[in-house]
Amino acid sequence: MAEESNYTLQLKEICKSYIRTDAQGVTVALENVNLNIKDGEFVTIVGPSGCGKSTLLRLVAGLIPPTKGSILLNGKPIKGTSPNRGIVFQEPTLFPWLTVEDNVSFSLKVQGKYKEKKEEVDRLINIIGLDEFRKSYPHQLSGGMAQRVALIRTMINEPEVFLLDEPLGALDAFTRMNMQDELLIMWKSNRHIMIMVTHDIDEAIYMSTRVVTMAPRPGKIKKDIRIDLPYPRNRMSDEFINYRKEIMENLNY
């Protein structure tokens, strides 16, 4: 028990089933998932389609409840959604009728925290290089720009747990690599817990301190691999390539 209390986020014996509408019965999306994460860890989840990666993130976000098991943050069960557990999806979910600035400020205004954080809004817009676009609307931005706005809109709440569901999946290769570095800068400056779903094994090794592989039907954790490489990581190094082999073999590629 003493060892467990070192973990900030704990998923204990999590099961999640969905009722199928097309036929009788249920889909077991996750079965007996146990995962413990400490402050400052960057965990990526990789695995084939349908193994429950998004389900796992949505459970931690509090968007859906587990069928069985519990999720503890700082020892307390999570209840529903909270700005403390921010989630960013593959498609940037910005409000189309609000400018960049207003999108980033929206949740602060709802929480009555805008005045105290106004400078932080300015700082983050500057960090992502969108000073000139602060009065622009989402349809006037490129995909990469919109995704950067979505990231800082979540970041402004200083979530203790930052959940990323394939956040870079829709970007071209160059923008994607730049965004990987930007995300690492954000993570290093705040040291919150990051949990990111990706289909890109190199992205997982480049970014995270742990890569968790999953298997489908029912979704479960296969292996939890610590990536013991200094940042910034060299995608061409032998160690990097060895991790790639280990993960691909584990996923049966």
Interface ranges with ligand ATP (CB under 6 A): 18, 27, 29, 49-55, 219
Give dist(CA 182, CA 65) in Å, integer.
32
> CB 16 → ligand ATP: shortest distance, Å?
8
Q: If you write DSSP's letter for every residue of 97-145 in order, what string do you get?
A: TS-HHHHHHHHHHHTT-HHHHHHHHHHHHHHTT-GGGTT--GGGS-HHH
145/197 with CB nearer ligand ATP: 197
Sheet containing strand 85-88, edge to edge, reads: 85-88, 161-165, 193-197, 42-46, 210-215, 220-226
Determine the 3-state secondary structure of 218 from DSSP: coil
> CB 58 → ligand ATP: shortest distance, Å?
7
159/219 with CB nearer ligand ATP: 219
> CB 34 → ligand ATP: shortest distance, Å?
17
35/51 with CB nearer ligand ATP: 51
25/80 with CB nearer ligand ATP: 25
> CB 68 → ligand ATP: shortest distance, Å?
15
Give dist(CA 109, CA 117) in Å, integer.
10
